[in-house]
């Protein structure tokens, strides 16, 4: 069956290109060449599948290592901010009453900080892109996002 398909493909391509029919030895030579190429491609396919399987295993191992590292990082936040607040800071959550230190630990360094010292307290605004956080005496009292 495969030989018939190869023969048909060859003859159809030779008709399209205007080539004349092959002699038996030329045909056999072309057929052997195609069979060898097919064997090489099958071998290459097997090797590629083996590489793919190996990469899948490596990906699973890396996913597990990433999960472990993320858990360890979260535990560092728990160690620093306690069981109640550590996971929230790690997940970049915000809430009224959180400290400036917690926001910096979760969100990183702000783009800009404005500070006003008054008789009734220290008021600070932290800017992260279009979000502004408002602190009074180091505790978050509100936030807003520009639209």
Give the DSSP letter string of 96-123: TT-BHHHHHHHH-S-SEEEEEEETTEEE
Banded model confidence at residue 21, pLDDT cuts 50, 70, 90 = confident
Banded model confidence at residue 22, pLDDT cuts 50, 70, 90 = confident
What whole-number distance in Å separates Cα of residue 77 and Cα of residue 130? 26
Tokens of 109: 């360094």
CA angle 124, 128, 130 (to 5 degrees): 105
What whole-number distance in Å separates Cα of residue 16 and Cα of residue 18? 6
User: Whole-model pTM?
Assistant: 0.64
The answer on pLDDT for 4 being more than 80 is no
In tens, the pLDDT along 107-124 reads 999 999 999 999 989 999
pLDDT at 12: 61
As a whole number of angstroms, the longest Cα–Cα distance in the chain is 105
In tens, the pLDDT along 69-97 reads 999 999 999 999 999 999 999 999 999 99
CB atoms under 10 Å from CB of 127, counted, come to 14
Do 99 and 86 touch, CB atoms closer than 8 A? no
| Region for residue 18 given its phi and psi (left: phi exceeds 0; alpha: psi -120 to 50; beta: otherwise) | left
What's the mean pLDDT when you consider all of the chain? 90
């Amino acid at each position: 069956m495969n030989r018939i398909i190869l023969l048909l493909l060859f003859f159809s391509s030779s008709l399209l290109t205007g080539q004349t029919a092959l002699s038996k030895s030329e045909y056999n030579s072309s057929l052997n060449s195609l069979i060898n190429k097919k064997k090489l491609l099958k071998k290459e396919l097997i090797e590629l599948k083996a590489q793919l399987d190996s990469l899948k295993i490596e990906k699973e191992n890396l996913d597990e290592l990433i999960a472990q590292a993320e858990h360890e990082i979260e535990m560092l936040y728990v160690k620093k901010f306690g069981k109640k607040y550590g996971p929230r800071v790690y997940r970049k959550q915000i809430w009224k009453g959180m400290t400036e230190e917690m926001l910096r630990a979760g969100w990183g360094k702000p783009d800009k900080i404005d500070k006003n010292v008054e008789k009734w307290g220290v008021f600070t605004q932290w800017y992260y892109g279009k979000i502004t956080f408002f602190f009074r005496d180091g505790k978050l009292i509100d936030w807003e996002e520009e639209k």
